[in-house]
A = this chain, B = another copy of it.
Protein backbone atom coordinates (compact mmCIF):
# COMPACT_ATOMS: atom_id res chain seq x y z
CA UNK A 1 0.00 0.00 0.00
CA UNK A 2 1.44 3.38 -0.97
CA UNK A 3 1.98 6.16 1.57
CA UNK A 4 -0.77 8.16 -0.09
CA UNK A 5 -3.23 5.35 0.36
CA UNK A 6 -2.10 4.73 3.94
CA UNK A 7 -2.78 8.23 5.21
CA UNK A 8 -5.98 8.44 3.21
CA UNK A 9 -7.33 5.23 4.66
CA UNK A 10 -6.44 6.36 8.19
CA UNK A 11 -8.26 9.65 7.55
CA UNK A 12 -11.23 7.82 6.12
CA UNK A 13 -11.44 5.51 9.11
CA UNK A 14 -11.34 8.40 11.55
CA UNK A 15 -13.87 10.32 9.49
CA UNK A 16 -16.26 7.40 9.67
CA UNK A 17 -15.83 7.19 13.43
CA UNK A 18 -16.60 10.88 13.73
CA UNK A 19 -19.69 10.65 11.53
CA UNK A 20 -20.95 7.58 13.33
CA UNK A 21 -20.46 9.24 16.70
CA UNK A 22 -17.78 6.86 18.02
CA UNK A 23 -15.59 9.92 18.24
CA UNK A 24 -17.66 12.82 19.58
CA UNK A 25 -17.06 16.56 19.46
CA UNK A 26 -14.27 17.45 21.88
CA UNK A 27 -12.72 13.96 21.84
CA UNK A 28 -8.98 13.87 21.33
CA UNK A 29 -7.58 11.89 18.42
CA UNK A 30 -4.87 9.35 19.29
CA UNK A 31 -1.51 11.07 19.62
CA UNK A 32 0.78 10.80 16.64
CA UNK A 33 3.06 8.50 18.64
CA UNK A 34 0.18 6.20 19.64
CA UNK A 35 -1.09 6.02 16.09
CA UNK A 36 2.38 5.18 14.73
CA UNK A 37 2.83 2.38 17.18
CA UNK A 38 -0.68 0.98 16.80
CA UNK A 39 -0.50 0.84 13.01
CA UNK A 40 3.16 0.53 12.20
CA UNK A 41 3.15 3.71 10.11
CA UNK A 42 5.38 6.76 10.06
CA UNK A 43 4.64 10.02 11.91
CA UNK A 44 4.42 11.90 8.60
CA UNK A 45 1.67 9.56 7.43
CA UNK A 46 -0.30 10.25 10.61
CA UNK A 47 0.25 13.98 10.25
CA UNK A 48 -0.97 13.89 6.66
CA UNK A 49 -4.15 12.13 7.76
CA UNK A 50 -4.73 14.65 10.54
CA UNK A 51 -4.09 17.59 8.20
CA UNK A 52 -6.62 16.15 5.80
CA UNK A 53 -9.24 15.87 8.54
CA UNK A 54 -8.43 19.41 9.59
CA UNK A 55 -8.85 20.66 6.03
CA UNK A 56 -12.20 18.96 5.96
CA UNK A 57 -13.17 20.81 9.10
CA UNK A 58 -13.62 17.65 11.16
CA UNK A 59 -10.82 18.14 13.68
CA UNK A 60 -8.84 21.05 15.02
CA UNK A 61 -5.32 21.34 16.32
CA UNK A 62 -4.89 22.73 19.82
CA UNK A 63 -1.39 24.06 20.42
CA UNK A 64 0.78 21.72 22.52
CA UNK A 65 -2.14 19.40 23.10
CA UNK A 66 -3.08 17.50 19.95
CA UNK A 67 -5.98 17.07 17.55
CA UNK A 68 -9.58 17.23 18.74
CA UNK A 69 -12.89 16.46 17.04
CA UNK A 70 -14.64 19.70 16.20
CA UNK A 71 -18.25 20.50 16.81
CA UNK A 72 -20.20 19.76 13.61
CA UNK A 73 -19.81 22.80 11.46
CA UNK A 74 -22.87 24.85 11.07
CA UNK A 75 -23.72 28.22 9.73
CA UNK A 76 -25.54 30.67 11.94
CA UNK A 77 -29.01 29.31 12.63
CA UNK A 78 -28.14 25.64 12.35
CA UNK A 79 -27.08 23.30 9.61
CA UNK A 80 -28.57 23.46 6.14
CA UNK A 81 -31.48 21.13 5.71
CA UNK A 82 -31.40 18.35 3.14
CA UNK A 83 -34.20 18.67 0.64
CA UNK A 84 -37.19 16.37 0.68
CA UNK A 85 -37.51 14.01 -2.21
CA UNK A 86 -39.65 14.91 -5.20
CA UNK A 87 -42.79 12.75 -5.28
CA UNK A 88 -42.34 11.64 -8.89
CA UNK A 89 -40.27 12.20 -12.00
CA UNK A 90 -40.72 15.68 -13.41
CA UNK A 91 -40.53 16.77 -17.00
CA UNK A 92 -38.01 19.55 -17.13
CA UNK A 93 -39.09 22.98 -18.36
CA UNK A 94 -36.85 25.23 -16.35
CA UNK A 95 -34.92 26.83 -19.21
CA UNK A 96 -36.90 30.02 -19.57
CA UNK A 97 -36.17 31.05 -16.02
CA UNK A 98 -32.53 30.03 -16.30
CA UNK A 99 -31.95 32.07 -19.45
CA UNK A 100 -33.80 34.97 -17.98
CA UNK A 101 -31.67 35.02 -14.86
CA UNK A 102 -28.34 34.17 -16.46
CA UNK A 103 -28.70 36.68 -19.24
CA UNK A 104 -28.28 39.26 -16.51
CA UNK A 105 -24.89 37.96 -15.38
CA UNK A 106 -23.21 38.75 -18.70
CA UNK A 107 -23.32 42.49 -18.34
CA UNK A 108 -19.89 43.74 -17.23
CA UNK A 109 -21.56 46.60 -15.35
CA UNK A 110 -23.36 44.14 -13.09
CA UNK A 111 -21.63 42.79 -9.96
CA UNK A 112 -21.32 39.08 -10.84
CA UNK A 113 -22.60 37.44 -7.64
CA UNK A 114 -24.91 35.29 -9.79
CA UNK A 115 -22.19 34.26 -12.23
CA UNK A 116 -20.99 30.68 -12.62
CA UNK A 117 -17.42 31.76 -13.35
CA UNK A 118 -14.59 33.02 -11.21
CA UNK A 119 -12.83 36.22 -12.27
CA UNK A 120 -10.89 35.70 -15.51
CA UNK A 121 -8.01 37.71 -14.04
CA UNK A 122 -7.21 34.71 -11.81
CA UNK A 123 -6.04 32.69 -14.81
CA UNK A 124 -2.71 32.74 -16.72
CA UNK A 125 -4.28 33.98 -19.94
CA UNK A 126 -1.26 35.69 -21.47
CA UNK A 127 0.84 32.60 -20.92
CA UNK A 128 -1.83 30.38 -22.46
CA UNK A 129 -1.99 32.65 -25.50
CA UNK A 130 1.79 32.36 -25.96
CA UNK A 131 1.63 28.59 -25.54
CA UNK A 132 -1.13 28.34 -28.09
CA UNK A 133 0.69 30.39 -30.71
CA UNK A 134 3.92 28.44 -30.25
CA UNK A 135 2.21 25.06 -30.47
CA UNK A 136 0.08 26.01 -33.47
CA UNK A 137 3.10 27.28 -35.40
CA UNK A 138 4.91 24.02 -34.76
CA UNK A 139 2.01 21.77 -35.74
CA UNK A 140 2.62 20.17 -39.14
CA UNK A 141 -0.41 21.05 -41.31
CA UNK A 142 -1.06 17.44 -42.23
CA UNK A 143 -1.52 16.65 -38.55
CA UNK A 144 -4.53 18.95 -38.34
CA UNK A 145 -6.86 16.41 -39.85
CA UNK A 146 -5.34 13.63 -37.77
CA UNK A 147 -6.28 15.77 -34.76
CA UNK A 148 -9.95 15.52 -35.65
CA UNK A 149 -10.36 12.51 -33.43
CA UNK A 150 -11.01 12.04 -29.75
CA UNK A 151 -8.45 14.75 -29.06
CA UNK A 152 -4.94 16.08 -29.39
CA UNK A 153 -2.42 13.38 -28.53
CA UNK A 154 -0.30 15.59 -26.28
CA UNK A 155 -3.30 16.81 -24.31
CA UNK A 156 -4.64 13.29 -23.95
CA UNK A 157 -1.27 12.22 -22.54
CA UNK A 158 -1.20 15.10 -20.07
CA UNK A 159 -4.71 14.23 -18.88
CA UNK A 160 -3.88 10.57 -18.58
CA UNK A 161 -0.91 11.47 -16.36
CA UNK A 162 -3.15 13.50 -14.07
CA UNK A 163 -5.57 10.59 -13.69
CA UNK A 164 -2.54 8.41 -12.93
CA UNK A 165 -1.65 10.71 -10.04
CA UNK A 166 -4.94 9.68 -8.45
CA UNK A 167 -4.27 6.00 -9.13
CA UNK A 168 -6.92 5.96 -11.81
CA UNK A 169 -5.82 3.88 -14.77
CA UNK A 170 -7.84 4.74 -17.84
CA UNK A 171 -8.52 2.30 -20.64
CA UNK A 172 -6.55 3.11 -23.82
CA UNK A 173 -9.39 4.81 -25.73
CA UNK A 174 -11.38 5.96 -22.71
CA UNK A 175 -10.78 9.72 -22.90
CA UNK A 176 -12.74 11.93 -25.27
CA UNK A 177 -11.93 15.65 -25.39
CA UNK A 178 -14.99 17.83 -25.72
CA UNK A 179 -16.10 21.40 -26.12
CA UNK A 180 -16.09 22.05 -22.37
CA UNK A 181 -17.44 19.81 -19.62
CA UNK A 182 -20.94 20.82 -20.64
CA UNK A 183 -20.65 19.04 -23.97
CA UNK A 184 -18.95 16.07 -22.29
CA UNK A 185 -21.75 15.74 -19.73
CA UNK A 186 -24.44 16.06 -22.37
CA UNK A 187 -22.86 13.41 -24.57
CA UNK A 188 -22.48 11.05 -21.61
CA UNK A 189 -26.11 11.61 -20.71
CA UNK A 190 -27.19 10.90 -24.26
CA UNK A 191 -24.99 7.79 -24.41
CA UNK A 192 -26.86 6.13 -21.54
CA UNK A 193 -30.45 7.31 -22.04
CA UNK A 194 -33.33 7.37 -24.51
CA UNK A 195 -35.99 10.10 -24.68
CA UNK A 196 -38.51 9.65 -21.87
CA UNK A 197 -36.06 8.03 -19.45
CA UNK A 198 -35.78 9.13 -15.83
CA UNK A 199 -32.48 10.54 -14.54
CA UNK A 200 -31.65 11.07 -10.86
CA UNK A 201 -30.21 14.45 -9.91
CA UNK A 202 -29.10 16.04 -6.68
CA UNK A 203 -31.47 18.41 -4.98
CA UNK A 204 -30.59 21.22 -5.42
CA UNK A 205 -28.77 20.51 -8.66
CA UNK A 206 -26.68 22.43 -11.19
CA UNK A 207 -29.15 24.07 -13.56
CA UNK A 208 -27.21 22.98 -16.64
CA UNK A 209 -28.10 19.40 -15.72
CA UNK A 210 -31.75 20.38 -15.82
CA UNK A 211 -31.21 21.99 -19.21
CA UNK A 212 -29.46 18.91 -20.57
CA UNK A 213 -32.39 16.76 -19.47
CA UNK A 214 -34.82 19.15 -21.07
CA UNK A 215 -32.86 19.16 -24.33
CA UNK A 216 -32.80 15.35 -24.47
CA UNK A 217 -36.47 14.93 -23.50
CA UNK A 218 -35.61 13.20 -20.22
CA UNK A 219 -37.40 13.34 -16.89
CA UNK A 220 -35.77 14.29 -13.58
CA UNK A 221 -36.10 12.84 -10.13
CA UNK A 222 -34.31 14.77 -7.41
CA UNK A 223 -32.56 12.95 -4.60
CA UNK A 224 -32.22 14.58 -1.16
CA UNK A 225 -28.71 15.93 -0.85
CA UNK A 226 -26.91 16.80 2.34
CA UNK A 227 -25.33 20.25 2.10
CA UNK A 228 -22.10 18.88 3.51
CA UNK A 229 -21.94 15.20 2.54
CA UNK A 230 -23.77 15.10 -0.77
CA UNK A 231 -26.45 12.69 -2.01
CA UNK A 232 -28.28 10.78 0.70
CA UNK A 233 -27.38 7.11 0.10
CA UNK A 234 -30.48 5.75 1.83
CA UNK A 235 -32.82 7.92 -0.18
CA UNK A 236 -31.02 6.90 -3.35
CA UNK A 237 -31.19 3.19 -2.47
CA UNK A 238 -34.90 3.51 -1.83
CA UNK A 239 -35.41 5.31 -5.13
CA UNK A 240 -33.49 2.68 -7.08
CA UNK A 241 -35.53 -0.09 -5.49
CA UNK A 242 -38.76 1.66 -6.39
CA UNK A 243 -38.20 3.07 -9.87
CA UNK A 244 -36.33 2.46 -13.09
CA UNK A 245 -33.55 5.05 -13.25
CA UNK A 246 -31.56 5.32 -16.49
CA UNK A 247 -28.66 7.25 -14.98
CA UNK A 248 -27.50 9.46 -12.12
CA UNK A 249 -25.85 12.84 -12.71
CA UNK A 250 -24.05 13.88 -9.52
CA UNK A 251 -21.21 16.16 -8.41
CA UNK A 252 -19.54 14.39 -5.49
CA UNK A 253 -16.79 17.04 -5.18
CA UNK A 254 -17.85 20.60 -4.25
CA UNK A 255 -21.33 20.22 -5.57
CA UNK A 256 -22.82 23.17 -7.38
CA UNK A 257 -24.61 24.94 -5.69
CA UNK A 258 -24.21 23.40 -2.21
CA UNK A 259 -20.46 22.94 -2.12
CA UNK A 260 -21.01 19.47 -0.57
CA UNK A 261 -18.01 17.14 -0.56
CA UNK A 262 -18.95 13.48 -0.43
CA UNK A 263 -16.62 11.52 1.90
CA UNK A 264 -14.57 8.79 0.21
CA UNK A 265 -16.45 5.99 1.93
CA UNK A 266 -19.72 7.38 0.72
CA UNK A 267 -18.40 7.65 -2.82
CA UNK A 268 -17.30 4.06 -2.71
CA UNK A 269 -20.69 2.95 -1.44
CA UNK A 270 -22.45 5.07 -4.05
CA UNK A 271 -20.51 3.46 -6.90
CA UNK A 272 -21.17 -0.01 -5.50
CA UNK A 273 -24.89 0.68 -5.08
CA UNK A 274 -25.22 1.95 -8.65
CA UNK A 275 -23.16 -0.94 -10.03
CA UNK A 276 -25.51 -3.33 -8.19
CA UNK A 277 -28.47 -1.77 -9.98
CA UNK A 278 -26.64 -1.43 -13.28
CA UNK A 279 -27.16 2.35 -13.27
CA UNK A 280 -24.41 4.50 -14.81
CA UNK A 281 -23.08 7.46 -12.83
CA UNK A 282 -22.31 10.65 -14.74
CA UNK A 283 -19.84 12.41 -12.47
CA UNK A 284 -19.45 16.15 -12.94
CA UNK A 285 -16.06 16.88 -11.37
CA UNK A 286 -15.22 20.36 -12.64
CA UNK A 287 -14.52 21.90 -9.21
CA UNK A 288 -12.30 19.16 -7.78
CA UNK A 289 -9.03 21.06 -8.38
CA UNK A 290 -10.37 24.00 -6.37
CA UNK A 291 -10.12 22.32 -2.96
CA UNK A 292 -9.22 24.59 -0.07
CA UNK A 293 -7.68 21.78 1.95
CA UNK A 294 -4.43 19.99 1.30
CA UNK A 295 -5.29 17.42 -1.29
CA UNK A 296 -7.51 16.98 -4.28
CA UNK A 297 -10.51 14.88 -3.28
CA UNK A 298 -10.69 11.69 -5.29
CA UNK A 299 -13.60 11.34 -7.69
CA UNK A 300 -16.15 8.55 -7.50
CA UNK A 301 -14.41 7.29 -10.64
CA UNK A 302 -11.50 6.23 -8.38
CA UNK A 303 -13.76 3.64 -6.75
CA UNK A 304 -15.11 2.18 -9.96
CA UNK A 305 -13.55 -1.05 -11.18
CA UNK A 306 -16.52 -1.88 -13.44
CA UNK A 307 -16.46 1.13 -15.76
CA UNK A 308 -19.90 2.36 -14.75
CA UNK A 309 -18.74 5.91 -13.93
CA UNK A 310 -18.62 8.48 -16.74
CA UNK A 311 -16.23 11.04 -15.30
CA UNK A 312 -16.38 14.53 -16.80
CA UNK A 313 -14.27 17.56 -16.10
CA UNK A 314 -12.74 20.58 -17.80
CA UNK A 315 -10.17 23.37 -17.62
CA UNK A 316 -12.82 26.09 -17.64
CA UNK A 317 -12.98 26.55 -13.86
CA UNK A 318 -9.36 26.01 -12.94
CA UNK A 319 -7.14 27.15 -15.81
CA UNK A 320 -8.59 28.35 -19.09
CA UNK A 321 -12.07 29.88 -19.13
CA UNK A 322 -13.26 30.51 -22.68
CA UNK A 323 -11.00 27.85 -24.17
CA UNK A 324 -13.90 25.38 -24.02
CA UNK A 325 -11.84 22.29 -23.36
CA UNK A 326 -13.35 19.56 -21.26
CA UNK A 327 -13.35 15.81 -21.42
CA UNK A 328 -15.11 12.60 -20.53
CA UNK A 329 -13.47 9.46 -19.19
CA UNK A 330 -16.60 7.50 -19.86
CA UNK A 331 -15.72 4.02 -18.62
CA UNK A 332 -17.39 1.26 -20.56
CA UNK A 333 -19.53 3.83 -22.38
CA UNK A 334 -16.51 5.55 -23.95
CA UNK A 335 -17.07 4.17 -27.47
CA UNK A 336 -20.64 5.49 -27.53
CA UNK A 337 -19.52 8.87 -26.19
CA UNK A 338 -16.77 9.10 -28.78
CA UNK A 339 -19.23 8.42 -31.57
CA UNK A 340 -21.75 10.89 -30.25
CA UNK A 341 -18.98 13.48 -30.08
CA UNK A 342 -18.10 12.89 -33.72
CA UNK A 343 -21.75 12.97 -34.68
CA UNK A 344 -22.58 16.18 -32.86
CA UNK A 345 -19.54 18.43 -33.29
CA UNK A 346 -16.89 16.23 -34.94
CA UNK A 347 -13.95 17.43 -32.86
CA UNK A 348 -12.76 20.04 -30.39
CA UNK A 349 -10.90 23.19 -31.46
CA UNK A 350 -7.25 22.32 -32.03
CA UNK A 351 -5.84 25.75 -31.01
CA UNK A 352 -7.42 25.49 -27.56
CA UNK A 353 -6.23 21.93 -27.10
CA UNK A 354 -2.69 22.67 -28.19
CA UNK A 355 -2.43 25.76 -25.97
CA UNK A 356 -3.38 23.63 -22.98
CA UNK A 357 -1.08 20.76 -23.94
CA UNK A 358 1.86 23.13 -24.30
CA UNK A 359 1.02 24.86 -21.01
CA UNK A 360 0.69 21.60 -19.09
CA UNK A 361 3.98 20.30 -20.44
CA UNK A 362 5.76 23.45 -19.27
CA UNK A 363 5.04 22.62 -15.65
CA UNK A 364 3.56 25.81 -14.16
CA UNK A 365 0.11 24.35 -13.62
CA UNK A 366 0.57 23.25 -10.01
CA UNK A 367 1.90 26.63 -8.97
CA UNK A 368 -1.01 28.37 -10.68
CA UNK A 369 -3.47 26.06 -8.94
CA UNK A 370 -1.94 26.68 -5.50
CA UNK A 371 -2.33 30.43 -5.95
CA UNK A 372 -5.85 30.06 -7.29
CA UNK A 373 -6.96 27.86 -4.41
CA UNK A 374 -5.56 30.25 -1.84
CA UNK A 375 -7.22 33.23 -3.51
CA UNK A 376 -10.58 31.47 -3.69
CA UNK A 377 -10.45 30.12 -0.13
CA UNK A 378 -9.64 33.57 1.23
CA UNK A 379 -12.29 35.20 -0.93
CA UNK A 380 -14.89 32.69 0.16
CA UNK A 381 -14.08 33.21 3.83
CA UNK A 382 -14.44 36.98 3.44
CA UNK A 383 -17.71 36.65 1.55
CA UNK A 384 -19.06 34.25 4.14
CA UNK A 385 -18.20 36.61 6.99
CA UNK A 386 -19.98 39.41 5.15
CA UNK A 387 -23.08 37.29 4.67
CA UNK A 388 -23.14 36.44 8.37
CA UNK A 389 -22.76 40.12 9.24
CA UNK A 390 -25.25 41.69 6.83
CA UNK A 391 -28.00 39.16 6.12
CA UNK A 392 -31.09 38.90 8.32
CA UNK A 393 -31.00 36.75 11.44
CA UNK A 394 -31.95 33.17 10.62
CA UNK A 395 -29.95 33.14 7.39
CA UNK A 396 -27.95 29.95 7.05
CA UNK A 397 -24.90 29.70 4.86
CA UNK A 398 -22.85 26.80 3.59
CA UNK A 399 -19.16 26.39 4.43
CA UNK A 400 -17.73 24.52 1.45
CA UNK A 401 -14.24 23.06 1.44
CA UNK A 402 -13.67 23.97 -2.18
CA UNK A 403 -14.95 25.85 -5.21
CA UNK A 404 -16.26 29.39 -4.98
CA UNK A 405 -20.00 29.15 -4.34
CA UNK A 406 -21.86 29.94 -1.15
CA UNK A 407 -25.37 28.59 -0.68
CA UNK A 408 -27.63 30.69 1.49
CA UNK A 409 -30.94 29.70 3.02
CA UNK A 410 -32.81 32.84 3.93
CA UNK A 411 -35.44 33.06 6.63
CA UNK A 412 -39.15 32.66 5.89
CA UNK A 413 -40.61 35.50 3.93
CA UNK A 414 -37.60 36.18 1.73
CA UNK A 415 -38.42 35.07 -1.81
CA UNK A 416 -35.04 35.01 -3.54
CA UNK A 417 -36.47 35.50 -7.02
CA UNK A 418 -37.89 38.79 -5.78
CA UNK A 419 -34.53 39.54 -4.16
CA UNK A 420 -32.79 38.71 -7.44
CA UNK A 421 -34.99 41.15 -9.33
CA UNK A 422 -34.55 43.97 -6.86
CA UNK A 423 -30.81 43.40 -6.71
CA UNK A 424 -30.52 43.44 -10.48
CA UNK A 425 -32.05 46.88 -10.51
CA UNK A 426 -29.19 47.91 -8.24
CA UNK A 427 -26.67 46.33 -10.61
CA UNK A 428 -26.10 43.13 -8.64
CA UNK A 429 -26.75 39.69 -10.10
CA UNK A 430 -27.57 36.62 -7.99
CA UNK A 431 -28.55 33.02 -8.70
CA UNK A 432 -31.89 32.42 -6.98
CA UNK A 433 -32.60 28.96 -5.58
CA UNK A 434 -35.41 28.19 -8.00
CA UNK A 435 -32.83 27.72 -10.76
CA UNK A 436 -31.53 24.62 -9.07
CA UNK A 437 -34.58 22.37 -9.15
CA UNK A 438 -36.90 21.07 -11.85
CA UNK A 439 -39.94 21.92 -9.74
CA UNK A 440 -38.68 25.28 -8.53
CA UNK A 441 -38.06 24.48 -4.92
CA UNK A 442 -35.52 26.44 -2.90
CA UNK A 443 -37.52 29.63 -3.09
CA UNK A 444 -35.70 30.92 -0.01
CA UNK A 445 -32.24 29.90 -1.19
CA UNK A 446 -29.56 31.77 -3.12
CA UNK A 447 -26.20 30.90 -4.65
CA UNK A 448 -23.51 33.56 -4.35
CA UNK A 449 -20.30 33.59 -6.37
CA UNK A 450 -17.31 34.31 -4.14
CA UNK A 451 -14.77 33.95 -6.93
CA UNK A 452 -14.03 37.61 -7.64
CA UNK A 453 -11.46 38.54 -4.98
CA UNK A 454 -10.16 41.64 -6.76
CA UNK A 455 -13.52 43.14 -7.64
CA UNK A 456 -13.97 46.03 -5.22
CA UNK A 457 -17.70 46.06 -5.91
CA UNK A 458 -18.28 42.62 -4.38
CA UNK A 459 -18.09 43.38 -0.67
CA UNK A 460 -20.44 46.40 -0.74
CA UNK A 461 -22.76 44.37 -2.98
CA UNK A 462 -23.01 41.55 -0.44
CA UNK A 463 -23.79 44.06 2.28
CA UNK A 464 -26.39 45.70 0.06
CA UNK A 465 -27.93 42.33 -0.76
CA UNK A 466 -28.25 41.58 2.95
CA UNK A 467 -30.06 44.86 3.54
CA UNK A 468 -32.44 44.17 0.64
CA UNK A 469 -33.19 40.72 2.02
CA UNK A 470 -34.01 42.25 5.38
CA UNK A 471 -36.34 44.74 3.70
CA UNK A 472 -38.12 41.98 1.80
CA UNK A 473 -38.49 40.07 5.04
CA UNK A 474 -39.98 43.10 6.80
CA UNK A 475 -42.41 43.69 3.95
CA UNK A 476 -43.50 40.05 4.07
CA UNK A 477 -44.44 40.27 7.75
CA UNK A 478 -48.13 40.76 8.38
Q: Give the interface of A toward B (CB within 8 A).
A: 95, 99, 106, 108, 112, 115, 117, 119-121, 123, 125-126, 128-130, 132-133, 136-137, 139, 141-149, 178-180, 182-183, 186, 190, 194-195, 208, 211-212, 214-215, 217, 321-325, 339-340, 342-352, 355
Q: How many copies does the complex hold?
A: 2
A contact patch SS = helix
**Which of B95, B214, B346 meets A182, CB within 8 Å?**
B346
Q: How far is the CA of A129 from the CA of B358 in the complex (A)?
A: 14
Chain B residues closer than 8 Å to A195, beta-carbon distance: 195, 217
CB of B129 within 8 A of CB of A141, answer no
Check A343/B95 contact, CB under 8 A, given A133-B129, A349-B322.
yes
CB of A349 within 8 A of CB of B352, answer yes
Question: What is the CB-to-nearest-CB distance from A276 to chain B, in angstroms, rounded to a whole number?
Answer: 30
Chain B residues closer than 8 Å to A144, beta-carbon distance: 120, 125, 321-322
CB of B346 within 8 A of CB of A180, answer yes
CB of B141 within 8 A of CB of A136, answer no
Known: A182-B345, A322-B347, A352-B352. 11 other contacts (CB 8 A): A108-B146, A115-B145, A125-B141, A128-B136, A132-B351, A133-B133, A180-B345, A215-B340, A323-B351, A324-B345, A349-B351
Chain B residues closer than 8 Å to A112, beta-carbon distance: 145
Of all chain B residues, the one with the shortest Cβ separation from A186 is B344
CB of B344 within 8 A of CB of A183, answer yes
Question: What is the CB-to-nearest-CB distance from A3 to chain B, in angstroms, rounded to a whole number?
Answer: 39
Of all chain B residues, the one with the shortest Cβ separation from A128 is B136
Chain B residues closer than 8 Å to A345, beta-carbon distance: 178-180, 182-183, 186, 324, 345
Check A348/B324 contact, CB under 8 A, given A133-B133, A137-B126.
yes
CB of B350 within 8 A of CB of A322, answer yes
Can you list 16 contacts pairing A with B, beta carbon distance less than 8 Å? A99-B342, A106-B145, A129-B132, A132-B132, A132-B136, A144-B321, A148-B322, A179-B183, A179-B348, A182-B346, A211-B343, A212-B344, A214-B343, A215-B340, A324-B347, A324-B349
From A128, A178, A208, A351, name the one whose CB has the most chain B CB atoms within 10 angstroms.
A351
Check A108/B142 contact, CB under 8 A, given A137-B126, A322-B148, A350-B323.
yes
Q: How far is the CA of A395 from the CA of B108 in the complex (A)?
A: 62
Q: How far is the CA of A184 from the CA of B344 in the complex (A)?
A: 9
CB of A355 within 8 A of CB of B351, answer yes
Question: What is the CB-to-nearest-CB distance from A132 to chain B, in angstroms, rounded to a whole number?
Answer: 6
Chain B residues closer than 8 Å to A130, beta-carbon distance: 133, 137
Chain B residues closer than 8 Å to A342, beta-carbon distance: 99, 211
Q: How far is the CA of A120 from the CA of B140 in the complex (A)?
A: 9
**Which of B106, B148, B324 meets A146, CB within 8 Å?**
B106
Of all chain B residues, the one with the shortest Cβ separation from A211 is B343
